[in-house]
Structures are given as C-alpha cells and as structure tokens.
C-alpha cells in the first residue's frame, strides 16, 4: 500500500550512506597505494595524479548515480506500493455501501460510486466537510483522528425525504503512522431507513392493537361498575347491559382471533400452500354461513359459477377467511344496494397461465378513490365508527392481502362512488405440487 512506499523512503538515505562509506574507504585505499607506488618510483608522478583524478571523478559520478537510481529493493517495493493504491481503489469500489477514504487532515483520498451518489460534491484532495454537510459525521472524523479509535454516529436527513443512516469512521494505522495518528481514515455509511420504517410500523401496530383492545375493555369495566353499583337491583338495565357486555367481549375475541390469524399467515408467508382446493364449494359454504346477515340486511346474494371445477393450490381455511371477509364487507358496507353478486371464472394471467378469478360486487355507496390504496393496511377503515358499530376490526382486508401473497395471488379493488365496489381475487390455478386433474381434491367443504 502507499504506506509501504513511505516506509521504504524513510530507509533510503540510510542505505545510501552505508554504500558511500564503503565506496569512500575503497577509493582511499586505492589512492594510498598509488601514493606508495609514486614514492617508491615505480609510477611516474604525472600518471599517479591522473589515476587519482580518475578515481575521484568516478566516485563523484557514482555518488550522483546512487542518489538518482533507486535500490533494487526500492524498485520492487515501489511497484507494490503503486498496485496497493490501485488495490485500495478497487477494494472500496467493490464495497456495497458508500465508502470514503480520508487523510488524517480530513481531505478526501478516494471514494466509491455509492459515495459520490450520496454526496455528488465529493472531490479528491478537498476536505470531506465541503461535500458532506453532516456535522455529526465531520465531528466523528475529528474525534477519530484525535482518539485514534473507531467511531459510529447515527444521523437523519429530512430533505428531500426522511432518511436515517449510520456512519462508521475507522482509523487505519500502518508502519508509517507517526505517534498516535492514523495513516488513513475509512468512512463508511449504512442506510438505516428500511429498519426504521419497520420499527415505526411495529410501534404503530402495537399502539393500534392496544387501542382497539382497550376500547371494548373500557366499556366492559364501565358496565361492571354500573352493575355492581347503581344498577344493582335494576333487572331491565342488567339485561340490557349484559347484552352490550357480551357484544364487547365478542369484539375483543374477534380482534384477538384476527390478530392471531394475521401473524400465523405472516409466519408462513414464504411457504406456498399446495393442497388442491375447489373454489366454488368454498364460496357456497361461506355464503350459506352468511345467510342470516344477508337476510337481516335485506340483501340478495347471487353466485355465478362455471360448470367445470375451479381448482387452486391453496389453504382451505385461509381461502374461507378471504371470502368471509369480502362477502361480509359487501353485505355490511355495500348492503344498501340490496344486491351482492359473486362471480367465479377462469382467466389468464399476464404470462398466459390459468388463473381462477373470483369477484364480489356490491351496489352500495362505493369507496372514495383516495382510500382504496390504503384499505389493506391493518386497522385502516374509511369510517372507523361505522366499522366498529358493525363489529369490524379493520383487519379483514389486511388478512385478505396476506393470504393472497402466500397463495401468489392478487387482490384488485375497483369502486365508483354511488355505484358500488368490486373486490376481485386472482389465484394461479396450478403448481407442480397441485394439478387440477388430481383425484385427491379437497371436497370436505361441499
Ligand atoms: N364493499 C365495501 N364497500 C364500502 N367500503 C368497504 C367495502 N369493503 C371494505 N370497505 C371499507 O374498508 C374498510 C376496511 O375493511 P376491512 O379491512 O374488512 O375492515 P373491517 O371490515 O373490519 O372494518 C372498512 O372499514 C370499510 O370502510
Ligand atoms: Mg371486514
């Protein structure tokens, strides 16, 4: 790496000195020999002076060359150093997170593409604080240089969108690092936004669920107080209150059931159900179970099913929950149209494969467009009071969506104000594990 290069440069003058001492002592010995030869008369003084001059000149030239040419060891170390710098660049380019290499004075040495996408003003040789206007990170860089130990900071940006990140500043030491100062600093960033979003959703969910459970609980407690106190001997009031208490207790039970179903389906989200299920009998069973509700609301329910069987690989209980929710919603929220039509057909997916298509259409008031994308969120309701009055938990369509995901199917909501709503589900008809022509089709619901 670059540091090896620096280290070899530190050693260079020392090696040169040793070599010059050796050359000097050999030259002195040669000059001494020539002086003895002149004194003994074997060599003429003219030639002797000439030889001494040649030796001195050669020494001078040698000195200059020694300073110019690097030692063979320096040559190898120099090339390692150069490839080391390239390696550093390649290494940070290969990292998935935005990464910046800094000199201890905070100037940018190198950075990867992810870093320049994050901070487009990054330039080599410029202080990082120019391109990265995050005081927490600049301060962490300063602390790392002073303390020579790794730092981690979290920071949030509100513009252009809420984003949470963490930054790690790591000192990189090497043999050339002087005192307590690192040779380089590695600055890496990590996006925390998805984790934060999930945390927020969980917190919202717990708050919503607690609120939904507390409302009937508060009603129950209130009636218990009244029954123990003022209404103790009022038989008529007691009967009325007990009915309300029963309804509230049922609501709590439904909520807990729905919450448990949701978490069960979520846990199994990645396991695709494979049991072949005939859809038409499932729908008929659900409609039968909801006959009382339909009669109470004066709604006619019609089923239009094909003559041939519609078989999908699925989980029967989950598919029952899906139709229960869709048909119950149509009866409760769209019941004013006095008509609910359920249509089952065979359709084609965009890739040409067969799909079972089931739609539940009502002629009620319809749903304002701005609510439609949010209907499958947990606890989301267009009219909270209305839904509660009808015993809703706000979890029905969330459940439908999760069941569809697990079945690799889709839920499509279409609604027009004043004309009613259509909830359509599309389910793939076969997988390798469940073929439409298999004999062991689950008929237990028919
Ligand atoms: N067929 C429909 N017509 C009008 N609004 C509907 C219909 N189906 C669902 N909704 C609206 O969507 C909301 C969410 O439905 P859902 O998740 O089943 O919860 P819940 O029925 O428990 O309130 C309902 O509260 C209602 O406001
Ligand atoms: Mg519902």
- Per-residue pLDDT tens digits of the chain, which is 446 residues long: 333 334 333 333 344 444 554 555 666 666 666 666 777 777 677 776 776 677 666 656 655 554 554 443 333 333 333 444 567 888 999 999 999 999 999 999 999 999 999 999 999 999 999 998 899 999 999 999 888 899 999 999 887 788 999 999 999 987 766 677 888 999 999 999 999 999 998 898 899 999 999 989 999 999 999 999 988 889 999 999 999 999 999 999 999 999 999 999 999 999 999 999 999 999 999 999 999 999 999 999 999 999 889 999 999 999 999 999 999 999 999 999 999 999 999 999 999 999 999 999 999 999 999 999 999 999 999 988 888 888 888 999 999 999 999 999 999 999 999 999 999 999 999 754 444 444 444 444 43
User: What is d(CA 341, CA 361) in angstroms, rounded to the nearest whole number?
Assistant: 5
Residue 277, number of CB atoms within 10 A of its CB:
27
| Ligand 2 centroid, distance to 381 Cα (angstroms) | 9
Cα–Cα distance list, 264 to 258, 269, 312, 409 (Å): 10, 9, 21, 18
| Ligand 2 centroid, distance to 415 Cα (angstroms) | 16
Residue 29 CB contacts under 8 Å (≥ 6 apart), including other chains = none
Q: Whose CA is nearest to atom 8 of ligand 1?
A: 329
Pocket of ligand 1 (CB under 6 A): 325, 329-330, 333-334, 362, 364, 367, 375, 381-383, 387, 392-397, 421
Residue located via tokens 């890496």: 188
User: What is d(CA 163, CA 412) in angstroms, rounded to the nearest whole number?
Assistant: 31
Residue 22 CB contacts under 8 Å (≥ 6 apart), including other chains = none
- The number of the ligand 1 atom at minimal distance from the alpha carbon of 399 is 17
pTM of the entire predicted model = 0.66
């Amino acid at each position: 790496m670059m540091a090896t290069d620096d280290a070899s440069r530190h050693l260079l003058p020392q090696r040169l000195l040793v070599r010059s001492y050796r050359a000097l002592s050999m030259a002195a010995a040669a000059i001494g020999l020539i002086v003895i030869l002149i004194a003994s008369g074997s060599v003429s003084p003219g030639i002797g002076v000439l030889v001494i001059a040649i030796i001195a000149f050669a020494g001078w030239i040698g000195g200059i060359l020694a300073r110019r040419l690097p030692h063979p060891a320096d040559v190898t170390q120099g090339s390692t150093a150069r490839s080391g710098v390239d390696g550093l660049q390649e290494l940070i380019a290969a990292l998935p997170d935005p990464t910046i290499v800094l000199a201890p004075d905070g100037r940018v040495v190198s950075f990867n593409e992810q870093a320049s996408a994050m901070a487009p003003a990054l330039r080599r040789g410029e202080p990082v604080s120019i391109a990265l206007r995050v005081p927490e990170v600049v301060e962490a860089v300063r602390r790392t240089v002073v303390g020579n130990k790794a730092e981690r900071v979290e920071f949030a940006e509100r513009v252009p969108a809420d984003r949470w990140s963490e930054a790690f500043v790591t000192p990189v030491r090497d043999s050339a690092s002087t005192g307590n100062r690192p040779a380089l600093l590695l600055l890496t960033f990590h996006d925390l936004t998805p984790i934060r979003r999930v945390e927020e959703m969980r917190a919202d969910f717990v708050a919503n669920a607690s609120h939904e459970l507390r409302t009937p609980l508060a009603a129950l407690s209130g009636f218990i107080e009244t029954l123990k106190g003022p209404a103790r001997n009022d038989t008529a009031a007691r009967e009325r209150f007990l009915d309300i208490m029963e309804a509230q207790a049922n609501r709590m039970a439904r909520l807990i059931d729905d919450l448990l179903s949701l978490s069960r389906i979520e846990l199994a989200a990645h396991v695709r159900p494979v049991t072949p299920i005939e859809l038409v009998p499932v729908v008929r069973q659900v409609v039968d179970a909801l006959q009382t509700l339909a009669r109470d609301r004066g709604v006619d329910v019609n089923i239009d099913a094909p003559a041939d069987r519609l078989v999908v690989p699925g989980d029967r209980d989950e598919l029952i929950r899906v139709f229960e929710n869709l048909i119950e919603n149509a009866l409760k929220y769209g019941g004013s149209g006095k008509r609910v039509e359920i249509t089952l057909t065979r359709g084609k997916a965009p890739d040409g494969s067969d799909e079972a298509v089931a739609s539940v259409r009502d002629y009620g008031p319809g749903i304002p467009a701005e609510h439609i994308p949010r209907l499958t969120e947990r606890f989301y309701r267009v009219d909270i009071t209305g839904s509660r009055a009808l015993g809703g938990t706000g979890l029905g369509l969330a459940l439908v969506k999760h069941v569809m995901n697990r079945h690799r199917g889709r839920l499509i909501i279409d609604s027009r104000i004043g004309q009613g709503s259509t909830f359509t589900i599309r389910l793939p008809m076969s997988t390798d594990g469940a073929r439409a022509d298999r004999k062991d089709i689950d008929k237990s619901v028919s």
